[in-house]
Amino acid sequence: MLALVAAGAVLIVAVVLIVVALVLYLVSVIVALTKITRGLDEVIAGVGEIVQKSAPVNEIVTAINQQLDAGVDALEGLLVKKAGMEDAVGLVDGLYAGAAAVGFRNFPESTTVTPPRIAEIYTKGTLTLARLGREAPIAAANPAGPVLRNVEAGSLAARQLYPDIRQARPEHLPRSPVIGADAPVQYEQREDIGAPRKRLPSRIAATSNGPPASTRDA
Amino acid sequence: MILWWIGDVVLLVVILPVVVYLLRGVLDVAKSIVPSVQEIAVVAAAGSKDLDAAALLLTTQDQATQTIAGVANYGGSLDVILDDAA
């Protein structure tokens, strides 16, 4: 009988131990899952803000890209129209080395053009000035000839392309007039400028010919 | 009687360790998720803060529109001033 009671007691102790272990670990798991839930709530809030803030980005960036594409199309078309395909490719390749291989976006045939060495012979603005008719000797040099200047640093050869007056240093040009309170030549302000006229010319004429009709009637 | 004792031994020696082992594994995995979720929450908040400048895209769009309009006007003037190449 005593052995039976002892076996029952051991069974009860074993069950209690299992239940205690279950309670302890399950409570710990519940605490951990609660922390996870709170963290996921913060994640959902942050992701919601991200979705809300990034919602118009696609539309705006698409609109900006469309506008920039339109600008690129217009400028490419204008450049090719005004400079011609060959010079246009040469200009772009001179500004951005290697760009001729890529060519223009709307002109696939531009990739087959051998770019002339425009940027090595003329300064960047010379061709534009020549198109505008401002004295640039656009035909003075042969693009097939040697390079006229050091494209990285030198400017003397480029300046010599211009007429003599444009080569002159600024100190050789007449000085600009000095104005202001410290100017060597001071001009006194005339008092009659800006002041009310003393007598109108019509009134002078009327006075010399007698009083006006309204005055005489009165 | 002997079977009862054998059942008690099995319960204490086999069942209880197995239960503890399984519960401990679940608890360890649950605890390992907590720091990861907290890091994700911090990253999500930082990402949301980084997107505060996205509203400036509207200003960028306006400026791009104005710039392209200016370039178009400038190109139109050049189209009138300059002769065509061909």
pLDDT of residue A155: 63
**CB spacing of B27 vs A32 below 8 angstroms:** yes
Residue B59 region by backbone torsions, left for phi larger than 0, else alpha for psi between -120 and 50, else beta: alpha
Q: What is the ipTM of this complex?
A: 0.75
Band of residue A214 on the pLDDT scale cut at 50, 70, 90: very low
Interface of A with B in 54-83 (CB under 8 A): 54, 56-57, 60-61, 63-64, 67-68, 70-71, 74-75, 78, 80-83
More confidently predicted of A150 and B37: B37
**Whole-number mean pLDDT of chain A?**
75
User: Chain B closest CA to A111's CA: distance in Å?
Assistant: 19
* CA pair distance A8, A15, nearest whole angstrom: 11
Average pLDDT for runs of 10 along chain B of length 86: 89 93 94 92 91 90 92 88 78
Pair A105, A131: CB distance under 8 Å? no
User: Chain A closest CA to B33's CA: distance in Å?
Assistant: 7
Query: What number of CA atoms fall less than 13 Å from residue A65's CA on the CB side?
Result: 6
**CB spacing of A25 vs B24 below 8 angstroms:** yes
Nearest CA in chain B to A75: B75
Average confidence (pLDDT) over A92-112: 86
Q: Is the pLDDT of residue A12 over 90?
A: yes
Chain A and chain B share a number of CB contacts under 8 A equal to 146
Confidence (pTM): 0.52
A118 touches chain B (CB under 8 A): no
Band of residue A95 on the pLDDT scale cut at 50, 70, 90: confident
Q: Which residue has the tokens 């008092």?
A: A191
Q: Please report, as a single letter, which amino acid is at residue A37.
A: T
Length of chain A: 218
A43 touches chain B (CB under 8 A): yes
Average confidence (pLDDT) over A39-49: 93
**CB spacing of A21 vs B23 below 8 angstroms:** yes
User: Chain A closest CA to B77's CA: distance in Å?
Assistant: 11
Pair A115, A90: CB distance under 8 Å? yes
Band of residue A217 on the pLDDT scale cut at 50, 70, 90: very low
Among A11, A29, A71, select the one facing B68 at the smallest CB separation.
A71
Q: Is the pLDDT of residue A48 over 70?
A: yes
Query: What residue spans define the domains of chain B?
Result: 2-85
Q: Around Cβ A100, how many Cβ atoms within 10 Å? A: 21
Q: A64-74 pLDDT, tens per residue?
A: 999 999 998 99
Q: Is the pLDDT of residue A26 over 90?
A: yes
pLDDT of residue B55: 87
Nearest CA in chain A to B2: A7
pLDDT of residue A119: 62
